[in-house]
């Protein structure tokens, strides 16, 4: 952690000059400048005073801010081929998230294994081919360019009911795949 840079950023966010911060902490402007340029290190007591003047504390100051990854490339996808079903997990470790997007390709006449009823919802969009969503005792046809959505409270699976490969985006919330 760049202590000086973080103190300077906090000071600037409050619109304070080095001199104003120094006055609030009974320090000199030169000392604040040295801290911000990492030419000096404060004692814990002095750092506590500075952070108090900046509206913070030691715990908040040293808490690392983690930035979540937003964009994922194809080489990060996790692929699994299983008996005519090609699974592509688009977001690595999506199980920790609120939803799990998977790109699924089904060979002709292949069906995903039946998923037992669970809490949550599932959504999909067919990119290629024609699929049949089997939801409990009912079957629903969904073709290229169409979407599906259902509560996952019944046994469910998806069958490629077309003559060619079927490809669809399948999103489960909470993660279930």
Residue 54's pLDDT is 95
pLDDT in tens, 9-66: 999 999 999 999 999 999 999 999 999 999 999 999 999 999 999 999 999 998 876 7
What are the structure tokens assigned to 125, written together? 């969009």
CB of 92 within 8 A of CB of 72?
yes
Decide if 94 contacts 174 (C-beta within 8 A): no
User: What is this structure's pTM?
Assistant: 0.63
CATH superfamily of 74-173: Jelly Rolls (2.60.120.10)
Provide φ and ψ at 35, rounded to 5°: -60, -50
Query: Residues of CATH 2.60.120.10 domain(s) within the chain?
Result: 74-173
Residue ranges, CATH 1.10.260.40, the chain = 3-62
| CATH number for the segment(s) 3-62 | 1.10.260.40
């Amino acid at each position: 952690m760049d202590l000086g840079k973080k103190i300077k950023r906090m000071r600037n966010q409050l619109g304070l000059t080095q001199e104003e911060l120094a006055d609030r902490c009974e320090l000199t402007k030169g000392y604040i400048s040295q801290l911000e340029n990492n030419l000096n290190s404060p004692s814990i007591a002095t750092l506590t005073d500075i952070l108090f003047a900046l509206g913070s504390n030691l715990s908040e100051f040293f808490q690392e801010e983690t930035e979540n990854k937003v964009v994922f490339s194809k080489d990060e996808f996790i692929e699994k081929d299983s008996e005519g079903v090609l699974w592509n997990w688009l977001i690595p470790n999506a199980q920790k998230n609120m939803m799990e997007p998977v790109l699924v390709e089904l060979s002709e006449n292949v069906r995903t294994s039946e998923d037992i009823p669970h809490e949550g919802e599932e959504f999909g969009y067919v990119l290629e081919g024609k699929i049949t969503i089997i939801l409990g005792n009912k079957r629903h046809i969904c073709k290229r360019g169409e979407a599906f959505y259902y509560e996952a409270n019944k046994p469910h699976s998806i069958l490629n009911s077309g003559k060619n490969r079927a490809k669809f985006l399948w999103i489960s919330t909470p993660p279930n795949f």
